[in-house]
Copies of this chain bind each other. A is one copy, B any other.
Amino acid sequence: MNLPQSSFPRVVIIGGGFAGLAAAKGLENQELQVVLVDKHNYHTFQPLLYQVATGGLEPDSIAFPLRKRFNDVKNFFFRLAEVVQIHPDKKIIETSIGNLDYDELIIATGSTTNFFGNENIQKNTMEMKSVPQALDIRSLVLENFEEALLTDNLEERNALMNFVIVGGGPTGVELAGALAEMKKGILPKDYPDLDIRKMQINLIQSSAEILKGMSSEASEKAEDFLIGLGVNVWKNLRVLNYDNKIVTTNGEDHFRAETVIWAAGVKGEIVSGLNSSCVIEKAERYKVNEFNQVENHDNIYAIGDVACMKSETNPYGHPMMAQPAIQQGKLVAKNIIAKLFGKKTKAFVYNDKGSMATIGRNKAVVDLPKWKFQGVFAWFVWMFVHLFSLIGFRNKAIVFLNWVYNYVRFDRETRLIIRPFKKKNIV
């Protein structure tokens, strides 16, 4: 893979998400050679993907070039590649651009959409874990509105304007809210010859409440907000199938819809090579000890979404969110350095800073460890935290400018079909 010779041990990090980036940062300018491998040349700020999907932000403002982040770091190397397999016996990873040997390996591959084995759903629904996927949703939503204009068949038109979002977690809730705001402020102006009242946004949640991981105050308020925005919230309803026409459920309701977004589950993005039965946890995550070491492999760490560290407070592992990923990335870097200098390593303790979700303009819910609040102030806190967490001054400035513009003008201006999803031949 053409890396410079080095007498220092080599740490390979797979994945430039929150976890991988935090680890790489922690290993800067140490007596180590750090190689970051990712299939994209940019870091994706996943919490804002839903705004890309709904035309509120340009994709380039939530992506940050990984090479640039480490421009001045001498011991850092980036390689654009997909990892095919890990060979722990030979201490090698096999990638699309060749083999790479490691002394320490950090797996930070994150998570991918979990379709729970349903091939129809996997084939026919949209997912939203990457920038291209978010752009596909943006294109599809707009293409469906253009198509709705053309048909005289009322059922077909309604199906084109029917949006089903499966999964009432933060992704589903935020996407449903953003679509509802498009329905309110933008689509009636863009499509004056369509009856936008016919547009339906259905959020389907299999359990008894949305935002399950948050407080009941947050769940209830979020539901109120969504209903206020005109979203149909379906609880205790499980989607069984989608054949590209009809969403069938375990209840009496079914939905004829052209756009179905699957936000009902994620699973660890497991790399083959370590998957002996004992290392895979429920939802396919690597079982790790309190030092994030993968079971039976002292020099292989899994961090972030792909890691499942059981503890008394988190019997099913930590939530698959940015915070645990960042904290684990930082600690693993420290522990690797400690190991290098023969010092003592530290066990991971999750510092739960709380969680939040936004539903729309002036509407968010925030759970802090000692304080829960909802509404306008929560919305400003949400914006501030997200703006602050973005990488790079330019991205922060562009997102801020867009938010101010969208707030003042009640607008979401990047409703562009740059790469059509349905008619892929248009250039």
Contacts and interface: CB of A to CB of B under 8 A. Distances in A.
A392 interface: yes
A67 B146 CA distance: 11
A117 to B, nearest CB: 20
Contact of A152 (B2, B61, B82, B393): B2
Nearest to A1: B150
B190 A80 contact: no
B77 A193 contact: yes
Given A71-B189, A398-B401, A133 B427 contact: yes
A231 B290 CA distance: 55
Contact of A416 (B60, B150, B151, B402): B60
Contacts of A426: 39-40, 82, 132
A142 interface: yes
- Stoichiometry, as copies per complex, reads 2
A403 to B, nearest CB: 11
Interface in A377-427: 392-395, 397-398, 401-402, 405, 411, 413-419, 426-427
A80 B2 contact: no
Contact of A65 (B67, B82, B135, B413): B413
Given A64-B413, A80-B417, A398-B402, 17 more contacts: A2-B152, A42-B418, A58-B58, A58-B60, A63-B416, A71-B189, A79-B146, A79-B149, A97-B150, A132-B419, A132-B426, A135-B418, A394-B411, A397-B405, A398-B398, A401-B401, A419-B419
Interface of A: 1-4, 39-42, 58-61, 63-65, 67-68, 71-72, 77, 79-80, 82, 97-98, 130-133, 135, 142-143, 146, 149-152, 189-191, 193, 392-395, 397-398, 401-402, 405, 411, 413-419, 426-427
